[in-house]
Amino acid sequence: MDLKRVSNEDKLKLCKTYYKAGFLFLPFLWLVNFVWFFQEAFTKPSFEQQKQIKTYVIRSLIGTSIWMVVLITWITIFQLKRAEWGETADKISFIIPKGIP
């Protein structure tokens, strides 16, 4: 979608929708929201909806950052403790079968 062809009201609605959808365990949408609307929020000439878009863009970046920290922490802990957790770790891990020889 070319944001140049979209009205400022529609940009705000779309930005708000992506921000809210990120709370449905879809943090990737927060990243998309940040990348997609960054220029609208910070580099374009001032317009009425820009302040709200800027708020959603900043919050989307914060949400993405928190999810990344949580994900990296979980992966690190899981990999370091996997042997200690034994069979429990195998039950909660994703194992790809090797296939039939």
**Is the model's pLDDT at 66 over the cut of 80?**
yes
Write the CB contacts of 12 (distance below 8 Å, at least 6 apart in sequence): 49, 52, 53
Q: Supply 16's token pair.
A: 């708000």
Residue 72: the pLDDT is 94
Q: How far apart are CA 46 and CA 54, in angstroms?
A: 11
What is the model's pLDDT at position 6?
Answer: 87
The stretch 64-75 carries a mean pLDDT of 93
Domain range annotation of the chain? 3-89
CA distance 2 to 77: 42
> Which pLDDT value is given to residue 64?
95
